[in-house]
Amino acid sequence: MEEDELSISSSSSSLSVFSDISEEVAAAETPSPPPSPPGACPSPEALEAPPLSETQGVGSSSQDEEQQSTTAAPEDAESSRKQAAHLMMAELVKFLLEKYRAKEPTTHAEMLSSVFTEHQDHFPEIFSRASRCLQRVFAVDVKEVDASDHSYVLVNSLGLTYDGVASDGHSMPKNGLLVLLLFVILKEGECASEEKVWKVLSDMGLHDGVENSIFGEPRDLMTKVWVEEQYLEYRQVAASDPARYEFLWGPRAHAETTKLTVLEFVQNQY
């Protein structure tokens, strides 16, 4: 196993993508989101604003203003196109997550009628982006099961039997983060210090004591939920004073996946 081909530093630098996608999905899940930060999924209200080209020249007092508006129009149109694509991708991810939580299949036709009431010609590109988002953030695969009607099912990427989705069906799968932590532990020699884990999480925009819209409070998730589910072991470093702690793979992680599977998954995603 060539584990040294991957490095924590190079992978961590790519994890900002994880945070950006999480923000977009959270924005789609929120009925009335606050103003979106740069790179996040835009609000529907922002997209409903008329393009600059439709308002050019109204009330213009000089030829210079008209020329500036004409110059800005292509850039404005491109920005609106990208924002619309982000919004459609986030809405499709939201739709597919609902199917995953309900354990229901879906079809190409259903996605078009439910999400792509307009711009259906962009479906292949946005479906590909949404599928990759589900893999990266949630460790969920979209698998085609019948090519004749283009039907799909959503399954856990690594076959882990616990995904953090509550029985009420409202929470989101959290295995994407779990797989990343298992990877960090491997790269640290199968035992990662708590300091190293929090450094990686900080690079992803996750912080101790700060509630996240997808993963909840990360300390509780790592040191209680995943420890109780036996995916992680959280123990005090021997003879440490003041006390320091470290993370290891738990018995359930060893039983349900392999080191090579986790390494290949993270390498392919980042």
pLDDT for res 170: 66
Q: pLDDT per residue over 132-175, tens digit each?
A: 999 988 999 999 999 888 999 999 999 898 888 866 566 789 99
For the chain, how are helix, strand and coil distributed in percent, rounded to 5?
55, 10, 35
39 dihedral zone (left: phi>0; alpha: psi -120 to 50; beta): left
Task: Please report how many Cα atoms fall inside a 13 Å half-sphere around the Cα of residue 183, on the Cβ side.
Answer: 29
Per-residue model confidence as pLDDT tens digits over 193-210? 999 999 999 988 899 999
pLDDT given at position 191 = 96
Tell me the one-letter amino acid at 169: G
Rg (CA), the chain: 22
Confidence of residue 245 (pLDDT cuts 50, 70, 90): very high
* pLDDT, position 119: 76
Q: What is the mean pLDDT of residues 241-245?
A: 94
pLDDT for the residue 126: 92
pTM above 0.85, yes or no: no
Amino acid at position 191, single letter? C
Start-to-end C-alpha separation, the chain: 19
Whether omega before 251 lies within 30 degrees of 0, making that bond cis, reads no
> Given a cut of 50, is residue 40 above it in pLDDT?
no
